């Protein structure tokens, strides 16, 4: 997605958000490569329905075609999410304000679903170095700007680390891969501006 043309980004993202199944497809393809055929089984949705929404995401620039394979006289297409198209990325903040609540809600719901699943599976505490911070802070405007810039830099670094990891894992045929969620959040709490007066 072209980050230099926000009006194009807005239209693509609005189209991408047009159906909740698209968000689910995008979430899965952020983690791994899959075809509409495989997605339909996982999402318990019809193949034609999933293929339609996968094509819509592809046309919006949210997906990358990774591979194709011949299956029973047809061509199966395998996709992954394009860089920066995962739900919650700062680029999603550029959608029209009327859709921001839906984007934020989908982001939080997805994060909570995965956190609860990891908690129930016992994987959230499996590693000694699991990071789970939650801290209320009191900032001025400059502090807010510095904090968000720090978090955005951390996200950029994590994405670079993921790219490096993918290259190493590819040479080892994914042996030793660790599936993880990295979440970053910073938001203004209700009543905070009144309290600062």
Find out whether 63 and 82 touch, Cβ atoms under 8 Å: yes
For residue 178, give its domain range: 133-197
C-alpha–C-alpha distance, residues 12 and 30, integer Å: 17
What's the pLDDT at 133? 87
Residue 125 lies in a domain: no
What's the pLDDT at 9? 47
Q: Report helix, strand and coil shares of the chain as percent, to nearest 5.
A: 55, 10, 35
What's the pLDDT at 126? 93
Q: Both tokens of residue 125?
A: 């505490």
With a CB cutoff of 8 Å and minimum separation 6, the contacts of 87 are 23, 26, 27, 30, 103, 106, 107, 110
pTM of the entire predicted model: 0.66
Same domain assignment for residues 97 and 47: yes
Same domain assignment for residues 95 and 33: yes
**Mean pLDDT, the chain cut into blocks of 10 residues (197 residues total):** 43 65 84 91 91 88 88 88 68 69 75 88 93 90 94 88 88 87 84 56
Element holding 29 (H helix, E strand) = helix 20-31
**φ and ψ at 125, to 5 degrees?**
-115, 10
C-alpha–C-alpha distance, residues 179 and 126, integer Å: 13
Same domain assignment for residues 87 and 164: no
């Amino acid at each position: 997605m072209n980050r230099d043309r926000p009006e194009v980004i807005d239209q693509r993202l609005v189209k991408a958000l047009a159906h909740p199944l698209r968000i689910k497809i995008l979430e899965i393809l952020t983690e791994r490569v899959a075809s509409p055929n495989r997605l339909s089984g996982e999402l318990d949705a019809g193949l034609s329905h999933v293929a339609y929404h996968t094509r819509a995401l592809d046309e919006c620039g949210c997906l990358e075609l990774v591979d194709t394979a011949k299956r029973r006289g047809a061509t199966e297409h395998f996709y992954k999410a394009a860089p920066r198209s995962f739900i919650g990325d700062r680029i999603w903040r550029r959608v029209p304000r009327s859709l921001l609540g839906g984007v934020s809600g989908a982001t939080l719901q997805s994060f909570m679903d995965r956190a609860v699943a990891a908690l129930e599976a016992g994987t959230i505490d499996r590693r000694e170095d699991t990071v789970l911070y939650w801290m209320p802070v009191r900032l001025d405007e400059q502090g807010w700007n510095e904090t968000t810039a720090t978090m955005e830099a951390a996200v950029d670094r994590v994405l670079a680390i993921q790219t490096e990891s993918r290259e190493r894992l590819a040479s080892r045929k994914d042996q030793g891969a660790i599936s993880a969620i990295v979440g970053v959040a910073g938001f203004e709490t209700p009543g905070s501006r009144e309290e600062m007066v």
